Amino acid sequence: MDYKYTSRSEQDTLELAQNIESEKFPNMVICLEGELGSGKTVFVKGFAGAMGIEENVTSPTFNLVKEYLNGELPLYHMDVYRLEGSCENVGFEEYFDKGGVSIVEWSDLIIDCLPEERLVIKFKVIDENTRVLVFEPHGKIYEDLCDSVL
């Protein structure tokens, strides 16, 4: 079952991310899909802030992974937009089992390297401020999360 949420501002997206963060757990994997400027990094900023991460969160486009280790749990922020070819030699799978939260931007580009259980959030731009977020939970724990937050 898919879930939908309409964000009418960056603040809405930040608050949604904070609500999802309140349900976080070790080895959580959140996959973000959507065009450039659709709000993926805004979501990560809201999630990281709610975890107590004080560093400035930016998209790790040229590093592939940024690690934020000073929050309630480690946060592994991945941006695979520039990844060319296979992801198998990059080692993303290691992050998914390190006890932290992994958030992957452009996850549809590495679908074969993602764990079976994960939360996919698709960002659809409606206008300058409005986004529709479609949630696709893969696994009971993510279904329960969507039921409690959305």
Three-state SS sequence of 1-38? CCEEEEECCHHHHHHHHHHHHCCCCCCEEEEEECCCCC
Domains of the chain: 3-149 (3.40.50.300)
The whole-number pLDDT of residue 17 equals 97
Residue 80 has pLDDT above 90, yes or no: no
Q: Compare 61 and 131 and report the one with higher pLDDT.
A: 131
- Would you place residue 86 in the very low, low, confident or very high pLDDT band (cuts 50, 70, 90)? low
- pLDDT tens profile 50-68: 999 999 998 776 778 999 9
The whole-number pLDDT of residue 83 equals 74
- Would you place residue 90 in the very low, low, confident or very high pLDDT band (cuts 50, 70, 90)? confident
